[in-house]
Chain A
Amino acid sequence: MKSINATLMACRAESRSALIPYLTAGVPDLVTTARLLHALAAAGADLIELGVPFSDPVADGPVIQKASETALAQGVNLAQILDVVAQVRAEGLETPLILFSYYNPIYHFGLENFVKQALVAGVSGTLVVDLLPETAGRYLDAVAGSGLETVFLAAPTTAPERLARIDAASTGCVYYVSRTGVTGTQAQVHVDLPATLAQLKTHVRQPVIVGFGISTPEHVAQLKGCAEGIVVGSALMAALDTASSPDQAVEIASALIRSLKQPLEEN
């Protein structure tokens, strides 16, 4: 099983971009989450972000808020999500998994315990959306030397002098938030985004993945080659919301990923 970093570094070497779907765990239910993880990988996902639902997702727009509510209504928790990860690993899933979470569920789990359990389950790394390198001390201490990779965010508002710190704290990759706002779909990605990413990469050594508002194959085509990875979240969760059965959810997700992957496979 390759690490997040090695997978994205290979993309860099081959001048291509990885496709990284985001999936909230527990939508429509945890049994289907396991099926969806396999289906996303089979349809062309190079890495997968697995979202831990949280009651107060302040960085998320309406689509992922709704997904979190759906999952929480069934009582989905972090321990169960780690069980699903262990299950799909046992079933042979090799795709690197980035656990995307707010800090409180992890903090409440116990930092040392979380790191241990996540690694045993087969989580590759974590992105904690409300931790900054400056405030992540205890978390970074718990992770240090464990092999669990870290991903920190950079945003359009990030001061250039902080980028070195974000880069240094991230062992998996740096996640660039493409706009000042919450997660969600949008009609167009900003025309300056490729140039912004090129600029960012002069400051950052780690591979860069980009997300927030990337929704269509056209967006993916626009950003192809500008970052080592392209994250699509709300578009997938919005599509899953239209599914009336687990089978249909798997079908919809597979079709969407294949369509998003297509521009990345063209020369």
Chain B
Amino acid sequence: MSEPMLLSAFQPLLPGGFFGHFGGQYIPETLMAPVQELEQAWAEARQDPAFLAELQDLLTHYVGRPTPVYEARNLSQQLGGARIFLKREDLNHTGAHKINNSLGQALLAKRMGKTRIIAETGAGQHGVASATVAALLGLQCRVYMGSVDMARQALNVYRMRLLGTEVCAVNSGSATLKDAINEAMRDWVSHVQDSFYLLGSVLGPHPYPDMVATFQSVIGKEARAQILGQTGHLPDEVVACVGGGSNAMGLFRGFVHDPEVQLTGVEAGGRSLEPGQHAARFGGGSPGVLHGSETLVLQDTGGQILETHSVSAGLDYPAVGPEHAHLHEIGRAHYVSASDEEALEAFHRLARSEGILPALESSHALAYVLKRAPQMRPDQILLVNLSGRGDKDVHQLYQAEEKQ
């Protein structure tokens, strides 16, 4: 058995689950008891060698970890700058990083004696991962998904149904990820006794942001060892897309203690930086409280949450994980945005140069790489988290091209 892969937080969480002033527990009273129950169960489980061993075993033999770090030589050569390495989370079972967290939380749910899991999903990858682990562990599963997202990710909806999960359409608000989370929280409020809310990103009330980041930190921990093994050096910069921010936080947790490694998150610039046309929280957001924590939020002058747009359902969300807001505030990580168009261009670029179809979410990180790599020297290393594969997006791309 290899050593447990779970890392602690990059710095101790402040009491109440705060990263600086971001985070916390802003929830209706009814949820306080289940949130405290979860806090307690998670605090015990993360110290329990038997729990960690079971998780490690499934990550190895079921998910297929460790995922490779692959040097994209063709792309590097074409861009003529840094050596580009891809952390291949797309090669996980179910096709994205999401299962690292779904598996961890589902094992925790089972340990807590819960029989039913609730999840929200944007692109459908977290929904598919949750449906998968529910089937594996014999849990009942319901996934909430915005009807707009169901239309653009129809294949993932069908995959969830094949796995025995009930997918519920959410029509309120912008009918995307934010509204799916609202509905999942309402379900949780109504079924606190038997249900476990399997939240898919580093969002929500404490302990979710830290717990999800801890389950995802396997990405960064593996990647750090792999890149050192393959090149003898730490990367100069690591890059990941940021919707809620779980794949980015998973990667960043591996490098946050290495001050020489630049951490870069790429959010969705959408069609333009006009309100409602993007999901660039670092660009256009301000401190606010949504879905249980204080973080950077896109909101209007009255404190109402704004609708967002991104070509990728997984990045189409008006807030960001509180740990990212904190890393941004203290200047440890920096955040940029890529537009829909730039992401699509990067999608095609990787497909043609390396024979890999990236998810549209991950394509945002690649869009930044296309600009960044040529500014770097050939002896420098740029590590990108390829958080998911693009099979789910093929139909959407096909339809878009048909229209043109």
A39 at the A/B interface (Cβ < 8 Å)? no
Residues of chain B with a CB closer than 8 A to A162's CB: 32
Contact B303–A105 (Cβ < 8 Å): yes
Contact B303–A61 (Cβ < 8 Å): no
A90 at the A/B interface (Cβ < 8 Å)? no
Residues of chain B with a CB closer than 8 A to A58's CB: 28, 182, 185-186, 189, 291
A104-B289, A162-B32 are known contacts; what are 13 more A-B pairs with Cβ within 8 Å?
A56-B173, A61-B186, A104-B305, A105-B302, A108-B299, A134-B25, A153-B28, A157-B32, A158-B29, A158-B32, A166-B29, A180-B30, A180-B190
How far is A79 from B34 in the complex, measured between Cα atoms in Å?
A: 35
B370 at the A/B interface (Cβ < 8 Å)? no
**Given the contacts A55-B304, A104-B305, A109-B303, A182 and B186 also touching, CB distance less than 8 Å:** yes
Give chain B nearest CB distance to A139 CB in angstroms. Answer: 10
How far is A154 from B30 in the complex, measured between Cα atoms in Å?
A: 8
Contact A103–B26 (Cβ < 8 Å): yes
On chain B, the number of residues with a Cβ less than 8 Å from chain A's Cβ atoms is 40
A77 at the A/B interface (Cβ < 8 Å)? yes
Report B171-204 CB contacts with A as 1/0, cut-off 8 Å. 0110000110010011001111100000000000
Report A3-47 CB contacts with B as 1/0, cut-off 8 Å. 000000000000000000000000000000000000000000000
Residues of chain A with a CB closer than 8 A to B241's CB: none
Contact B304–A54 (Cβ < 8 Å): yes
Interface residues of A (CB under 8 A from B): 54-61, 65, 69, 72, 75, 77-79, 102-109, 129-132, 134-135, 152-159, 162, 166, 177, 180-182
Contact A134–B16 (Cβ < 8 Å): yes
Pick the contact of B25: A54, A61, A107, A132 (CB < 8 A). Answer: A132
Residues of chain A with a CB closer than 8 A to B27's CB: 130, 132
Give chain A nearest CB distance to B306 CB in angstroms. Answer: 8
B24 at the A/B interface (Cβ < 8 Å)? yes
B2 at the A/B interface (Cβ < 8 Å)? no
Contact B291–A104 (Cβ < 8 Å): no
**Given the contacts A77-B301, A106-B303, A180 and B189 also touching, CB distance less than 8 Å:** yes
Contact A56–B182 (Cβ < 8 Å): yes
Interface of A is mostly: loop
Chain B residue with the shortest CB-CB distance to A62? B172
Interface residues of B (CB under 8 A from A): 16, 24-34, 36, 172-173, 178-179, 182, 185-186, 189-193, 286-292, 294, 297, 299, 301-305
Residues of chain B with a CB closer than 8 A to A159's CB: 33, 36
Residues of chain B with a CB closer than 8 A to A156's CB: 30
Residues of chain B with a CB closer than 8 A to A166's CB: 29
Contact B305–A107 (Cβ < 8 Å): no
Contact B32–A105 (Cβ < 8 Å): no
Residues of chain A with a CB closer than 8 A to B302's CB: 75, 77-79, 105, 108
Pick the contact of B172: A65, A102, A109, A155 (CB < 8 A). Answer: A65
Contact B26–A131 (Cβ < 8 Å): yes
Residues of chain B with a CB closer than 8 A to A61's CB: 186
Q: Output the residue of A54, A72, A180 with the most chain B CB within 10 A.
A: A180
Pick the contact of A157: B30, B186, B297 (CB < 8 A). Answer: B30
Contact B304–A105 (Cβ < 8 Å): yes
Closest 5 CB pairs of A and B: A108-B303, A77-B302, A153-B29, A105-B303, A157-B33
How far is A105 from B297 in the complex, measured between Cα atoms in Å?
A: 12
Contact B189–A181 (Cβ < 8 Å): yes
Give chain A nearest CB distance to B317 CB in angstroms. Answer: 12
How far is A77 from B299 in the complex, measured between Cα atoms in Å?
A: 12
Residues of chain A with a CB closer than 8 A to B172's CB: 65, 69
19 interchain pairs (CB within 8 A)?
A: A56-B179, A56-B182, A59-B28, A72-B304, A75-B302, A105-B302, A107-B289, A108-B303, A129-B28, A130-B289, A131-B26, A132-B29, A153-B30, A157-B32, A157-B34, A162-B32, A180-B193, A181-B189, A182-B189
Chain A residue with the shortest CB-CB distance to B37? A157
Chain B residue with the shortest CB-CB distance to A153? B29
Chain B residue with the shortest CB-CB distance to A128? B26
Residues of chain A with a CB closer than 8 A to B292's CB: 130
How far is A59 from B291 in the complex, measured between Cα atoms in Å?
A: 11
Residues of chain A with a CB closer than 8 A to B287's CB: 107
**Given the contacts A104-B290, A132-B27, A134-B16, A157 and B192 also touching, CB distance less than 8 Å:** yes
Chain A residue with the shortest CB-CB distance to B299? A108
**Given the contacts A56-B291, A159-B33, A182-B190, A135 and B26 also touching, CB distance less than 8 Å:** yes
Chain A residue with the shortest CB-CB distance to B302? A77
Residues of chain B with a CB closer than 8 A to A177's CB: 29-30
Q: Output the residue of A72, A102, A106, A159 with the most chain B CB within 10 A.
A: A102
Q: Output the residue of A69, A77, A109, A135 with the most chain B CB within 10 A.
A: A135
Chain A residue with the shortest CB-CB distance to B185? A58
**Given the contacts A56-B291, A65-B172, A153-B28, A104 and B189 also touching, CB distance less than 8 Å:** no
Q: Output the residue of B25, B27, B189, B304 with the most chain A CB within 10 A.
A: B304
**Given the contacts A55-B173, A182-B190, A104 and B30 also touching, CB distance less than 8 Å:** no
